[in-house]
Structure 1
Amino acid sequence: MRVLADLEAGGERKPYYVSVQAGQILEDPQAAAYELEVSLNEREHIKLRELFDELSSMDEAEMFHFSHSPFGAASDSQINAGYDGLIQQVYKKLYEYGTDETKRHIESMQLL
């Protein structure tokens, strides 16, 4: 019964090692520096990857905006609010899927 529930929820959970700064979700903790450890099934992994992709796109849009359009349509506060919202979503997911140590670390950051 447990196996069936796991499959319906996106499969078996596996440990992943996350670097928010680099936007990486690693299977091998030796592959690169990471800050947080989480346990994800396939569906959760995809969702977290999508959030990191959005964050990366936001970074690129922000760089383009400031380098090409100093008086563009979006204000600094609007751009920052969008970025902050995505960071909040990322850390909420990391907290939800995180190990106890990851949860303590995120709590200490006082982001949520």
Structure 2
Amino acid sequence: MDGQKQSYYINIQSNEIFTGPFEGEWDFKIEATESQINFIERLFNRMDETDWESYFRSHIPYLEYHHQPQNKEYDQRMLWIYTTLYELGDEKTREHIRKMGILNEDSTRIQNKSF
């Protein structure tokens, strides 16, 4: 039954995924399969790891942001998350992400569709 899509509600700030609209505060509604949700969960988990690495490295004053590889990884993963949400989202989700201006036309098409 992995191919069946169902509604999920995503909170980007807390990296939470809800199956119902009243389970918690959410930002985006998507229609996804179980494997697509697993993909988003893996991205969220990696974001948490990278976030902690950035926190610890931020205490080294001579390292600039753009020279820290984990910051580039964080940015890339955030782009993947928003691209995935754009692809799976309802029209309201897509419109919101378009207005944010973080995705260009090429990034709104997921390059690797092997969730």
TM range (shorter): 0.7 to 0.9
The structure with the larger Rg is 1
What's the TM-score, normalizing by structure 1? 0.81
Corresponding residue to 1:47 among 39, 43, 49: 39
Question: 1:65 aligned to 2:35?
Answer: no
The residue type equivalent to 1:77 in the other structure is H
Corresponding residue to 1:82 among 73, 78, 82: 73
Structure 2 segments unaligned to the other structure (5+ residues): 104-115
Report 1:23-34 matches (<5 A): 23-34=15-26
SS at match of 1:18: strand
RMSD across aligned C-alpha pairs, in angstroms? Answer: 1.5
Residue 101 of structure 2: aligned partner: 110
Report 1:9-20 matches (<5 A): 10-20=2-12
Summarize the Cα distance change of 1:102–1:61 in structure 2 as closer, same or farther, 3 Å threshold.
same
Structure 1 segments unaligned to the other structure (5+ residues): 1-6
Distance, in Å, in 2 between the alignment partners of 1:18 and 1:42 is: 14
- The structure carrying a bigger helix percent of its residues is 1
Shift of 1:46: 0.4
Distance, in Å, in 2 between the alignment partners of 1:45 and 1:78 is: 32
How many percent identity over aligned positions?
25
- Which 4+ runs in 1 deviate beyond 6 A? none
Shift of 1:56: 1.0
The residue type equivalent to 1:22 in the other structure is S
SS at match of 2:58: helix
What's the TM-score, normalizing by structure 2? 0.79
Number of positions where the alignment pairs a residue of Structure 1 with one of Structure 2 = 101
Residue 99 of structure 1: aligned partner: 90
